[in-house]
Amino acid sequence: MSSLLIDNIAELTTNDPELGPGVGGRVHDAAVVVEADRIAWVGPASKAPQADTRYDAGGRALLPGWVDSHTHMVFAGDRGAEFEARMAGTAYAAGGINVTVAATREASDESLYQNLVRLTNEARRDGTTTIETKTGYGLTTEDEVRSARIAARVVDAVTFLGAHVVPNGTSPDAYLDLVTGPMLDAVAPHVSAVDVFCEQGAFDEAASRRVLETARSRGLATRVHGNQLGHGPGVQLAVKYGSLSVDHLGFLSPADIAALAESPTVATVLPACDLSTRMPFAPARDLLDAGATLAIASNCNPGTSFTNSMAFCVATAVLQMRLTVEEAVRAATLGGATALGMHRDGWVDPRGNAQPRVGMVAPGARADLHLIDAPSASHLAYRPGMRLTRAVWIAGREFGQ
Ligand code: NIG
């Protein structure tokens, strides 16, 4: 097994309180040893063991790779005109999803696959090492299964979002029967979780309960899109049904924040989506202060957030949501891993391979690393909009090499 020593690291974010102080578990003048796909050793450079090869980090900062726990990247088509109209004053409405559904149904498997590869390559080049994506732009059994199959070839976690909107020309009751019946049966073997868009214009409380109950009765993990367009029951349902995460969270009551603080359900905020829809920023500061586990994700999709730059999301969370850099980096790495259940060893990727945990730079974790062209992670927000990525390793292999 070959080993790699990365040394001359000015600042290492580990996310492990046993390795360094603060929520980032930062170590200065650090080194990391990678063996095969895992981190083998972490500590001060002066104590680093020998390895087969050496990479000189040149006095830069090293972080865990970003874990993007919420994207919708299996789609075709463009909604630039809808975005432009929104910037001219038209409010975002869930109905735009059906525009992408029509384009996605028309597209060939190959073009959906190539678009997904293009988007995930963009993300990986910019430091994202673990990616979740959802179905939800097919909305027929055939199109949802093919979306899930295509996603499973490319990403680390696939979520079934048949309950995205009721497709045009379908009765809501008939669609709910389909999505909780034959469609779920057909998609379940290809996904690790089920999501529901619990929102006005999408699925109401009773329908969302049915989606969550059915998924749970089949032993599938669940997630909820909630409290995006207004205050609704999404958070309380996610907590009640033990969902892995509830995502969006622009409109929360004190009771919602308290419920998330007391539950293992991860509160996932999507700063780029809040910006691109001109909706209120999710109260990430209040959620953290209350004790909730926080994740930051890109929500990359053609309607509400057409970016997969986690660095942009982190900078926005610091500058607009009042997080510290350490808090935002942790939420975009270990927080995302927790939202996907990948903060523990043994999660199984869509290709059937058991994987070590992600979201930390600690012995035993997957060697997912992000070197930035700066001496400290603080530059991610201090220099907003700059592309700082210098090198990325995914499971011990340098991406793009
Ligand atoms: O997360 N909220 C629901 N789904 C997406 C929107 C997708 C779209 O408009 O195409 C979201 O914002």
Owner of token pair 């874990």 = 67
Here the contacts of 175-178 (C-beta below 8 Å, separation 24 or greater) are: 176/203, 176/207, 176/210, 176/211, 178/141
Residues 53 and 72 in one domain: no
Q: Is residue 353 part of a domain?
A: no
CA 97 / ligand 1 centre spacing (Å): 7
pLDDT beyond 80 at 163: yes
Who contacts 375 (Cβ-Cβ below 8 Å, separation ≥6)?
Answer: 10, 11, 59, 60, 61
Measured CA to CA, the distance from residue 176 to residue 265 in angstroms comes to 25
* Interval 240-292: pLDDT, tens: 999 999 999 999 999 999 999 999 999 999 999 999 999 999 999 999 999 99
Identify the DSSP state of 189: G
* Most ligand 1 atoms within 8 A of CB, residue of 83, 137, 165, 304 to mutate: 304
Q: Which of 132, 206, 131 is nearest to 163 (CA)?
A: 206
Ligand 1 site residues, Cβ closer than 6 angstroms: 72, 96-97, 100, 197, 225, 228, 273, 299, 301-304
Res 1: pLDDT: 80
* 352 occurs within a structural domain: no
- The CATH number linked to 33 is 2.30.40.10
For ligand 1, the distance from its centroid to the CA atom of residue 5, given in whole angstroms, is 42
What are the tens digits of pLDDT across the range 173-203? 999 999 999 999 999 999 999 999 999 989 9
Which residue lies with its CA nearest to atom 1 of ligand 1? Answer: 299
Position 320 pLDDT exceeds 90: yes
Domain shared by 125 and 8, yes or no: no
Q: Are 122 and 13 in a shared domain?
A: no
Q: What is the pLDDT, as a whole number, of residue 330?
A: 98
How many structural domains is the chain composed of?
Answer: 2
Ligand 1 atom closest to 228 (CA): 2
**For residue 95, what pLDDT is reported?**
78
Same domain, 262 and 279: yes
CA of 286 to the centre of ligand 1 (A): 24
| CA–CA gap between residue 282 and residue 292 (Å, rounded) | 13
Q: Are residues 254 and 380 in the same domain?
A: no
Give a yes or no: residue 106 inside a domain: yes
Q: How confident is the model at residue 154 (pLDDT cuts 50, 70, 90)?
A: very high
Residue 39 domain-assigned (yes or no): yes
For tokens 């463009």, name the residue: 78
Q: Are residues 163 and 260 in the same domain?
A: yes
Examine the domain organization and report whether 60 and 147 are in the same domain.
no
Question: What is the mean pLDDT of the segment spanning 137-157?
Answer: 98
**Residue with CA nearest ligand 1 atom 12:** 304
- pLDDT at residue 302 tops 80: yes
Give the pLDDT confidence score for residue 100 in this predicted structure.
97
pLDDT of 142 higher than 80? yes
User: Collapsing DSSP states into helix, strand and coil, what is residue 149?
Assistant: helix
pLDDT in tens, 46-70: 999 999 999 999 999 999 999 999 9
Predicted pLDDT at 94: 77
At 174 the pLDDT is: 97
Mean pLDDT for the stretch of residues 300-329? 98
Region of 200 please: left (phi>0), alpha (psi -120 to 50) or beta: beta
Cα of 193 from ligand 1 centre, angstroms: 17
Residues 58 and 193 in one domain: no
Q: Decide: pTM greater than 0.90.
A: yes
Which of 71, 97, 133, 165, when mutated, tests ligand 1's pocket best, judged by the most ligand atoms within 8 Å of its CB?
97
The range of the structural domain enclosing residue 87 comes to 67-347
**Is residue 92 scored above 90 in pLDDT?**
no
Atom 3 (ligand 1) nearest CA? 197
Residue of 172, 375, 243 lying closest to 235 (CA atoms): 243
Q: Tell me the average pLDDT across 23-51.
A: 97
266 and 364 belong to one structural domain: no
